[in-house]
A and B are shown apart, each in its own frame.
Chain A
Amino acid sequence: MSDAISFARYEKKWSRYGPFAAAVLVVLVLAAIPFFTDSPYLLHVLNLTFLTILAAVSFRTIIISGQFPLGHAAFMGIGAYSSGMMAKWLGWSPWITIPLGTCVATCIGIVIGYPFSRLRAVYYAMVSLFFGIAVVQIINAGGVWSGGYSGLTGIPPLIGFSKTPYYYLFLIVTFVSLLVLYRFETCRVGTTWKAVAQSYLIASSVGVNEAFYRVYALAVGCFFAGLAGALYAHYNFTIGTSSFDFVATMMFLMYGVVGGMFSFVGPILGTALLVLAPEAARGLKQYVPYISAGILLIVVYGMPQGLIGLPGMIKRLLSRRAKYEAGRV
């Protein structure tokens, strides 16, 4: 993971606004897609991809602060179930319950964050893994209120049953959320997170309240995971705990590793590839786990920086070859 701080002020205008312009371009291209297709299936897949990207990037936000949240998908579940249950049983509008569900996920993140912030490395990962399992079990034990093992059904829709309005909503929400997360990472808050991740002792010796900054990162991550979950509940109308269990967190990790954990764009790229590619080859659907595992193995062994590091790798290989050939002549 590269921890380079961007000294944007000292760089040229292009390198400062270039990535932003590219992101806007991608969003505009994506916004045009519904004009060219009316396949609800494609739009459905893209909708899920947007929410998964948001969750995967929020997972990485917690990782850069030096925490390894193996129960991250549970926060998505907390957002989804709290929003869905409020809307279903209290009859409130999803426009209110989605922010409320997001808040519930954030608050639980903050509450568990303080005791968690005393744990380091593998102990943190273990406890957060068990927290995730506990959340899933509690929801499963919720009986009729949470739908138990058969899942919560009949969640009121946010904006009707057509896929297209959701497509634009999720595109906008994901884009804005990613901008927020990117800003967090590139401003001083992100610098402090990365500093705490590298050495909490040194960070606290220069006056950083490291427990606070770890909880801060966790709260930001949980907020966006909760948001993604709550939106998912009111889009899919049916939710089950299997979408929020340990395997789901492992998927976020895999998307990040395949795309490149050291870069903000990595998890976005990884999610897009690993969610969309199997859809393109639908006939092979039952082999998806094996294909994903294969890709993961290739990436971990062959390109430790992930797909995002590929251009750099090729450049290095080419220059090495050029040097080699120059030496031969």
Chain B
Amino acid sequence: MLLEIDNLTKHFGGLAAVDGLSFGVGQGEIVGLIGPNGAGKTTAFNLITGILKPTEGRLTFDGHDVTGKKPHQLAKLGVGRTFQLNPLFPRFTVLENVVASCHLHPHSRSIDAFFNTPRYRRNEALIMEQALETLKLLRLDEVKNELASNLPHGYQKMLAVARALTVRPKLLLLDEPTSGMNWEETELTLSTIERMLGTGMSVLLVEHNMEVIDICDRVVVMNFGRKIAEGSVDEIRNNKDVVEAYLGGDHAA
């Protein structure tokens, strides 16, 4: 398993937002994390990416114990993520967003940057090349000089993915990558995700859209901070607990 989550727990005061959550994401696997609103999906996401520190439990990524590690340390190990809200640097253009995000690969020491050494110039040229390539891949090259905050919502989400790819992730965490997208943009996002899987990248995504859930190898369902089901998409569709959680007890029968 690339990512292993063991008994992950987060208390906010007396409330257990995530309560004893355990699952794993394998190499090249695409796992969906779903659940009704307030189930603790985003909290789980923030725990996995180090924005929140877990009250209890262990996180293992790629053989490293990453419990309580900071977001930038996780990024260094190869965890890329997108954010559901405010997914980009608003005062940078699209190209600048990607260029500014290329902090790790290649990384220039600030002394090289300050003195504009040949190594720094080589790195910057490489970053520019990579950035243009990524933008082309995600079909953002037409809008590369637009201010990011002026982009339509779907483009912003794509840009967030482009940004996350700059850390060369082994595991990509996508927080509702298609929310607010139209059908065409959703298709493009899905085909991009599938293409990335071909490169051996694993994906963990939080989603509401069932079309997107269809591409998952495995689905983990959360409710009230606990995992209530795990399995293939079909298994989840026919799971009594899941239907109950989404539609309420009366409809289950």
Residues of A within 8 A of B (CB): 1-5, 7, 9-10, 183-184, 187-189, 191-192, 194-195, 198-199, 201-210, 216
B51, A201: Cβ atoms closer than 8 Å: yes
A207, B72: Cβ atoms closer than 8 Å: yes
Q: Considering only CB atoms and an 8 Å cut-off, how many residues of chain B contact the other chain?
A: 39
In the assembled complex, B143 has its CB within 8 A of some CB on chain A: no
Q: What B residues does A4 contact at CB under 8 A?
A: 93, 96
A206, B163: Cβ atoms closer than 8 Å: yes
Given A194-B100, A209-B72, A202 contacting B88 (CB threshold 8 A) = yes
Instruction: Name which residue of chain A comes closest to B87, CB basis.
Output: A202
A210, B72: Cβ atoms closer than 8 Å: yes
Given A5-B100, A208-B72, A201 contacting B83 (CB threshold 8 A) = yes
In the assembled complex, B32 has its CB within 8 A of some CB on chain A: no
C-alpha spacing A202/B113, complex, angstroms:
22
C-alpha spacing A205/B173, complex, angstroms:
11
Instruction: Name which residue of chain B comes closest to A7, CB basis.
Output: B128
28 contacts between A and B (CB under 8 A): A2-B91, A3-B91, A5-B99, A5-B100, A9-B121, A10-B128, A187-B110, A187-B114, A187-B116, A188-B108, A188-B120, A189-B110, A191-B96, A191-B100, A192-B103, A198-B92, A202-B101, A204-B70, A204-B71, A205-B72, A205-B75, A205-B80, A206-B80, A206-B104, A206-B167, A207-B76, A207-B167, A209-B70
A5, B96: Cβ atoms closer than 8 Å: yes
Kindly identify, within residues 97 to 112 of chain B, every residue whose CB is under 8 Å from any CB belonging to chain A: 99-104, 108, 110
Given A3-B92, A9-B121, A198-B91, A192 contacting B100 (CB threshold 8 A) = yes
Closest 9 CB pairs between A and B?
A207-B75, A204-B71, A207-B104, A187-B113, A3-B91, A206-B101, A198-B89, A188-B113, A195-B100
In the assembled complex, B247 has its CB within 8 A of some CB on chain A: no
Given A187-B116, A207-B104, A202 contacting B92 (CB threshold 8 A) = no
Residues of B within 8 A of A (CB): 49, 51, 70-72, 75-76, 80-81, 83, 86-93, 96, 99-104, 108, 110, 113-114, 116, 120-121, 124-125, 128, 163-164, 166-167
Q: What B residues does A184 contact at CB under 8 A?
A: 114
Query: Residue B86 contacts which of A2, A194, A195, A199 (CB distance < 8 angstroms)?
Result: A199
Instruction: Name which residue of chain B comes closest to A191, CB basis.
Output: B100
Q: What A residues does B108 contact at CB under 8 A?
A: 188
A189, B114: Cβ atoms closer than 8 Å: yes
CB distance from B11 to the nearest CB of A (A): 21
CB distance from A259 to the nearest CB of B (A): 19
Q: What B residues does A199 contact at CB under 8 A?
A: 86, 88-90
Q: What B residues does A183 contact at CB under 8 A?
A: 114
A206, B166: Cβ atoms closer than 8 Å: yes
